[in-house]
Structure 1
């Protein structure tokens, strides 16, 4: 925020975590509060020395080698801040990716037979190397993604936290015994790795989503082929380079980069190749529904998160929660709140406070520590936001602030926007905007708020604010979403499960449940002489 003072921001951040010193801040907490860190310097976030050798790679990593692909074609990577070319990356296709799948398939046997302690040690080494390189990784992420630098560095710490967690979880895969109904038989239940995992990483959180998927896969004993996102390929390959330096064996972790024209072919390969046992995908609902092969699949798809403000809510918490839930990464998050349902008794005051916040946000260079809103990722994203806002305006919505492109800042910037007068015929009420836009809707009763919040085919995250403890429990149980934020909007950490209801996905990532996506259950019946 333009008006942020370092001291006040740090105090707000620390008090929100009930921390008595910076040393007590966890990686996940720092990431989840990163919008409040607009005035923190890189020294505040990390003080380690950057490794002398740059982590940026243009090649893909297959079977322990950096390769250019058969055709040695290149595609360009752009900085969304100003459209400048960051560099060129080799464009691999499905046939190139097949070599990575074959390598992972061959490596699966030896890797799955390693002890959990051995896999744990390698994951922890990878985690440690990421922490040593936060400054370079954070700047690399910000340059290709456009999120403010504090958020970029926060995401790197968030990504590292999954490797820390799963390095320990690798040693906690427990079997069990079950009593048969006859005396001469015993059963042993084993949990075993499913095999090769095909992993598709999104552009909006290319570091955090890579480790949230790869961490449990490797911990479980699976091998992996990652398809990096077309818009942000550098940070995933940098993380894989650190995995290589950590000693992950050849063939165990592979990554391929490609242009948008080759993405569908690689996705189809993951879906159809019998050597790929499970597919983990984060992206849109429309793409996620295309998986048709019978195999393990984990889908983390889009959301349309409501945020409910009841009359008893603490408005200061609502405002700070809005900063993270709506404006992190310029609203480009699957759990980003979009439809704000505000009860009539607090409506005017809440709109006033949220408007003040929205107007105070500074758009600008993501590398500037005072910037809180960066650019959208590309022209398609910008055009979608503009189309949805214009549709709402044409059908009678009122623009309280923002409402148009910020061409004075850059080609891909859209003003932080607050809309009221939202009606059912407006597309923006029903479609994920993926941009810095808030829809404000007035409601009367708790029942109405729950009904309207649940009136969606998606159910990834839902948020609400109330000081009534009984209401908190009622609403928490009634909302149809996999992630519920009650008086808080920081709903993701390495220790907790992440996933949705309805069309928002299948399976869970994170926590002990994230391991289950890469394990299969084997029942062994043993006949004995009594």
Structure 2
């Protein structure tokens, strides 16, 4: 089936302000998760193509860094306006290549655009410092300068927002970039490249190189002395590999890695609010999110009622192809993800978990798994130890707050956690003791372009969003001066 959103989207590499084919005309197919059918064939960058993109970014760097901060900000503001004007076009494209429901995709585009608006305003807030040295002999002057060429590697689950969350601060800081989008969802990134050109971004400042040779081309770029920054969003396993590679040239890294978010419901929680929050925390993007609630720890006195209400809410969702406006939950991104989710559920059930709703894959075509709630999950079940990345909520019961905190922290991950209680002081006390970079209290979403997003432990290095996100693309230079 032909889709106008796909047919109008560029399919080549975007390097130095021009569209071109990959070396040897290599391509790869992009598939629709709703039916498994191919959507488009996209150029697949080679190592030589990726290094050409680095050359373009490096050549464009001095002029872009010297561009007035206000001018950089105005270009980002124009990009924001253009993206919101084309919200429906981008949303439909995101649905087609990622599978998410249309309402979710519209929300993602608005979220993606907010990063451009936020960093349009941050571009003029690159502040330095001047102070007198304690001994009085000189002044301490600190400048913030762009770090240089940045390689940006983005995931498939938020193809627009993860790109703008990196491009926005990089351009605001005066850096140039090479974007390597996920091979499952390159079309959104290519359409963004076209949009940024329309917004006035000069040639070479943004380069986009989709590829099936992801490991090879990222490795090559990280070993090019002109690359000074890597920003990666993806799994902890790949993050470890990239951190090791980045060490060879001491490339500075921002890493937003895997999560295993606990969702804690205390015995005094407002259950109506807790269930509403759980539906968002668990099922945003069909559970295919690093911030998705992965483990539900519920106080024993309210566990049965919470589970009953959550199961009813999950069972009421409409599952189907995301372009249907009535659909609330789309397919998983590919067969591998569907099979992994099914294995985790089947294994938990074999160990004694009870299925309160769902628990099955839907017959094809497409990669659909029913929204699923599991009760009586064993504390050592594998489904509690790794990211599910699907619409499955495993529920465990706890008896004391100390037990809940210990369970929440019993993981190598520490990205986000959720706490529900009517007693704000109690909830804050729990939040302070949870080993995570972000905590949502009485709400199911924490992401905000104005807030520092990132994790503790093996969930990441550094922060994106807020002023912290801008600083990630700036180097501090200390000048010792007397006058």
The two structures have a TM-score, normalised by structure 2, of 0.96
User: Quick check: 1:55–1:241 contact (8 Å CA) kept in 2?
Assistant: no
Over 3 Å counting, the alpha-carbon distance change for 1:53 and 1:203 in structure 2 is closer
What is the distance in 2 between the residues matched to 1:419 and 1:352? 11
Matched residue, 2:478: 523
Q: Name which of 34, 40, 54 aligns with 1:101.
A: 54
What is the distance in 1 between the residues matched to 2:39 and 2:256? 29
Note the 1:109-188 alignment, pairs <5 A.
109-188=62-141
User: Quick check: 1:464–1:485 contact (8 Å CA) kept in 2?
Assistant: yes
Residue 235 of structure 2 corresponds to residue 284 of structure 1: yes
User: Quick check: 1:198–1:280 contact (8 Å CA) kept in 2?
Assistant: yes
* Structure 1, gaps ≥5 residues long: 1-50
Q: Per-residue deviation at 1:198?
A: 0.2
Matched residue, 1:419: 374
Q: Per-residue deviation at 1:178?
A: 2.3
User: Quick check: 1:270–1:279 contact (8 Å CA) kept in 2?
Assistant: no
Over 3 Å counting, the alpha-carbon distance change for 1:360 and 1:53 in structure 2 is closer
User: Match of 1:495, SS?
Assistant: coil
Deviation string 1:162-205 (CA, Å, 9 cap, x unpaired) is 00000010000110112213333112110001000000010000
User: Match of 2:25, SS?
Assistant: coil
Matched residue, 2:172: 219
What is the CA RMSD across the aligned residues, in angstroms? 1.4
Matched residue, 2:161: 208
Tell which deviates more after alignment, 315-324 or 210-219: 315-324
Deviation string 1:230-286 (CA, Å, 9 cap, x unpaired) is 001101110110000111000000000112xx0101221232211110000000000
What is the distance in 2 between the residues matched to 1:74 and 1:481? 40
What is the distance in 1 between the residues matched to 2:230 and 2:295? 31
Deviation string 1:411-469 (CA, Å, 9 cap, x unpaired) is 31011111122113321110111001101000011111011001111000100100012
Flag as ranges the 4+ runs of structure 1 deviating above 3 A: 51-55
User: Quick check: 1:375–1:410 contact (8 Å CA) kept in 2?
Assistant: no
User: Match of 2:140, SS?
Assistant: strand
Q: Name which of 13, 36, 39 aligns with 1:86.
A: 39
Deviation string 1:306-329 (CA, Å, 9 cap, x unpaired) is 100111111111121112111111
Matched residue, 2:320: 364
Note the 1:317-356 alignment, pairs <5 A.
317-356=273-312
Deviation string 1:479-529 (CA, Å, 9 cap, x unpaired) is 11111000011201111110001000000000111001100100000134x
What is the distance in 2 between the residues matched to 1:398 and 1:518? 48
Q: Name which of 415, 431, 435 aligns with 1:480.
A: 435
What is the distance in 2 between the residues matched to 1:189 and 1:411? 55
Q: Per-residue deviation at 1:52?
A: 11
Q: Per-residue deviation at 1:53?
A: 11
User: Quick check: 2:416–2:438 contact (8 Å CA) kept in 1?
Assistant: yes
What is the distance in 2 between the residues matched to 1:377 and 1:53? 17
Q: Name which of 402, 405, 415 aligns with 2:358.
A: 402
* Structure 2, gaps ≥5 residues long: none
Q: Per-residue deviation at 1:396?
A: 1.6
Residue 431 of structure 2 corresponds to residue 471 of structure 1: no
User: Quick check: 1:105–1:196 contact (8 Å CA) kept in 2?
Assistant: yes
Q: Name which of 491, 503, 506 aligns with 2:446.
A: 491
Q: Per-residue deviation at 1:397?
A: 1.5
Matched residue, 1:45: none
Residue 461 of structure 2 corresponds to residue 461 of structure 1: no
Matched residue, 1:446: 401
Q: Name which of 28, 35, 39 aligns with 1:75.
A: 28
Residue 18 of structure 2 corresponds to residue 62 of structure 1: no
